[in-house]
Amino acid sequence: MRTTVDIDPELVAEAMRLLGTKTKKETIRLALEALIRDRRRELLRGKLANTDLSFDLEGLERLRETG
């Protein structure tokens, strides 16, 4: 998919340097993948923070039995 966007050249250059990429296309792809991965990780961390993960043997066996 082709899209035209106006991106600050200094941001692109810094991203290319940090990512070690040679093309703008590769830089944008890797940057978007990193953003998505990091955001998903943050969301999962937030969900896990609100989840009781203190299982005992009986609780784990009940979970196994109920599917």
Domain extent listing, the chain: 9-66
Q: Are 21 and 30 in contact (CB under 8 A)?
A: yes
Question: Which letter does DSSP use for residue 6 in this model?
Answer: -
Reported as a pLDDT band with limits 50, 70 and 90, residue 58 is confident
Residue 50: the pLDDT is 78
Q: Dmax over Cα atoms in the chain, in whole Å?
A: 58
What pLDDT digit, counting tens, does each position of 1-55 carry?
899 999 999 999 999 999 999 999 999 999 999 999 999 999 998 888 877 777 7
Beta strands in 1-67 (DSSP E): none
